[in-house]
Amino acid sequence: MEKFVIEGLKKLSGEVSISGSKNSALPIMAAALLTDEECVIKNVPALRDILIMEDILNTISVKTDFSQKNNIMRIKADNITSDSDDSELTGKIRASFLTAGSLLSRFGRTRISMPGGCSIGTRPVDLHLKGFSKLGAEISNEFGIVDLKSKKLKGGEIYLDFPSVGATENLIMAAVLAEGRTTISNAAMEPEITDLCSFLRKMGADISGAGTDTIKITGVKRLHGASHSVIPDRIEAGTFMIAGAACGKITINNVIPEHLRPIVSKLRETGALVVEKGSSITVENTGEIKNTDIKTMPHPGFPTDMQPQFMSLMTLGKGTGVIKETIFENRFLHVGELHRMGADIKTEGNSAIIRGVKRLTGTRVKATDLRAGAALIIAGLCAEGITEISNIFHIERGYYRIEDKLISLGANIKKELNH
Ligand code: EPZ
């Protein structure tokens, strides 16, 4: 196992370029299964989750060719052999469940392993399954395998009790080849949904309302191959923005500013200087961080995936701030690790009260999930002394060579074997 070793309190300055969005590339890879023609997906980040998703597609004989150097993934699903119920693999990443909609749509049948929970929550898929049955699928869920079948999916009216990102994506992919019209109400509005829909439209799908809470789909007979470039990763961008607000002045290139609105506005509330210029954004620490309040919400609210990183910033802010986590039921695992670095945080249910302290001090901490790990990197950069972060495989799921990008900004961070 490997760890990051960080010597903190280095002033960061310079520029960093953002990779393609993991959470956009994964559903788009699943959408490529909707046609037997080749799809070319560009700006795909060479992350662990992407490589596992590629393996999962290969287990059902989907042809893939991923050039990690050029970040181009070619996918051709012209002879899918069996159900993707290779639970060894599909159990590794929850995003594998996103193939369900496409496989059901294309073949009228799929068996896929029921995704488990993870450290941040139980992560049920009830909204996915309820939506599939609204489209006429018969569903059984035994021995950890979800069995979906339907002679021909028929369009229908779906209302999501919660604007689930994954359920919205899966149900769009199930509806694009269904007979007739489907309406998804209370749909997720994240930029990754809009990106998926622009890819599907290039394939010939008839979709309107992407990015709003009501998405309308008219089923078509078939879809053809397409080429598409994935949007930049707004969460990677936000993570570097917080590093700039905490430790210096960083220009983040290759971003889409409107995807970062909630993060920009909250960082300005803390007193950070944020300047937008085209597809770049510069964030600078102005000497004092003032604490503020955060409530995570579905897009366009403040993203839950930025909550841990923002909490790290607030541990050194002036005054008290409250973070309310409304999306996941257990997304405060980083609090215990930040306590070990001297942070003053009290949690009560899904709220965390952060009182700024004068300094954080480095010690051994462990990443418990992807964004909690990113939060510990931010804290390590701001701490006096050496911080060692173990279980960094969590971090590498969502950040491509983050240590190289930080070193280029002046950070003292190394990856070492964890004996
Ligand atoms: C996506 O997960 C992202 N993952 C998550 O990013 C992100 O945190 C999340 O959306 C929210 O923005 C990918 O896109 C691969 P949800 P997803 O369905 O689709 C409940 C990261 O750090 N729910 O919107 O699984 C669920 O329990 C990851 O990159 C149901 O109750 O999120 C949760 O409380 C972490 N029933 C809430 O909805 C369902 O059927 C949001 O989940 C589905 C979800």
pLDDT, tens digit (0-9, with 9 covering 90-100), for 138-176: 999 888 889 999 989 999 999 999 999 999 999 999 999
Over range 42-50, report the average pLDDT: 96
The single-letter DSSP state of residue 96 is G
CB 313 within 8 A of CB 378: yes
pLDDT of residue 83: 56
Over residues 370-378, mean pLDDT: 97
* pLDDT at 392 exceeding the cut of 90: yes
Helix intervals (H) in 203-256:
234-247
Amino acid of residue 408: S
Q: Tell me the β-bridge partners of 215.
A: 184
CATH tag, 22-229 = 3.65.10.10
326 CA distance to ligand 1 centroid (A)? 12
- Ligand 1 atom nearest to CA at 26: 15
- Expressed in angstroms and rounded, the spacing between residue 165 Cα and the centre of ligand 1 is 6
CATH architecture assignment, domain 2-19+232-417: Alpha-beta prism (3.65)
pLDDT value at 229 more than 90: yes
Nearest CA to ligand 1 atom 27: 123
What whole-number distance in Å separates Cα of residue 345 and Cα of residue 375?
14
One-letter amino acid for residue 367 of the chain:
A
- State mean pLDDT over 330-339: 97
Which burial class, exposed, middle or buried, applies to 312 when counting CB atoms under 10 A from its CB (0-12, 13-18, 19+)? Answer: buried
Looking at per-residue confidence, does 122 or 28 come out higher?
28
| Predicted confidence (pLDDT) at residue 86 exceeds the cutoff of 70 | no
User: Do the Cβ atoms of 391 and 228 come closer than 8 Å?
Assistant: no
Q: Which of 165, 189, 259, 350 to mutate to test the pocket of ligand 1 (most atoms within 8 A of CB)?
A: 165
CA 209 to ligand 1 centroid distance, Å: 21
Can you give the pLDDT at residue 112? 87
* Dihedral angle sign, alpha carbons of residues 396, 400, 401, 406: negative
What's residue 9's pLDDT? 97
Pairing of strands 2-7, 412-417: antiparallel
Give nearest CA residue, ligand 1 atom 1.
165
Going by alpha carbons, the residue nearest to atom 35 of ligand 1 is 305
What gap in Å lies between CA 13 and CA 18, rounded to an integer? 16
The answer to whether the beta carbons of residues 294 and 266 sit under 8 Å apart is: yes
Give the 3-state secondary structure of residue 199.
Answer: helix
The residue whose CA is least distant from atom 21 of ligand 1 is 305
Q: CATH 3.65.10.10 occupies which residues in the chain?
A: 2-19+232-417, 22-229
pLDDT of residue 341: 98
118 is catalytic: yes
Q: Is the pLDDT of residue 90 over 80?
A: no
pLDDT at 412: 98
- pLDDT at residue 144, as a whole number: 87
Read off the pLDDT band of 80 (50, 70, 90). Answer: confident
Percent of the chain with pLDDT over 70: 98
